[in-house]
Amino acid sequence: SRFETCWPALMKDSHGVIIIFNPELPSHLKEIEMWYSCFVQQQPLLDGQCLLVAHHKPGSAGDTENLSLAYPLNKIKLIHSNLEDDPEDVRMEFMKYFKSIIAFINESREREEMSIIS
């Protein structure tokens, strides 16, 4: 919360939010609700402009792959990353996410241009 004064500058004109957290820390599971509220809902951004990344530390215990998040976080795309595994899946998911953000930006720009013309 030391950096809360910087948040408006970080959020200004942002088109997407990626929230990375450690699914084994109960405190992180509470915190991502706060990040979602501040950076997505209050912007407001669409849920499709947000990506959740559950990052698993090497040798981490517990079955957190079947992580079930409560509403409204359960509406957001969730991917699992693990440096021990093949990172190709994560790379593909990031590419999909970035492509969707670019498409969203282009659509918004076209809508703006059309509204100016009409």
Task: Indicate the number of domains in the chain.
Answer: 1
Contact present, 40 and 9 (Cβ < 8 Å): no
Beta bridge partners of 17: 50
109 burial via Cβ count (<10 Å: 0-12, 13-18, 19+): exposed
117 band by pLDDT with thresholds 50, 70 and 90: confident
pLDDT digits (tens, 9 = 90+) for 15-44: 999 999 999 888 888 899 999 998 899 888
pLDDT at residue 98, rounded to an integer: 96
- Look up the domain containing 101 and give its range: 4-117
| 12: CATH | 3.40.50
Which two tokens mark 76? 């957001």
pLDDT digits (tens, 9 = 90+) for 62-95: 556 678 888 899 999 999 988 777 788 889 999 9
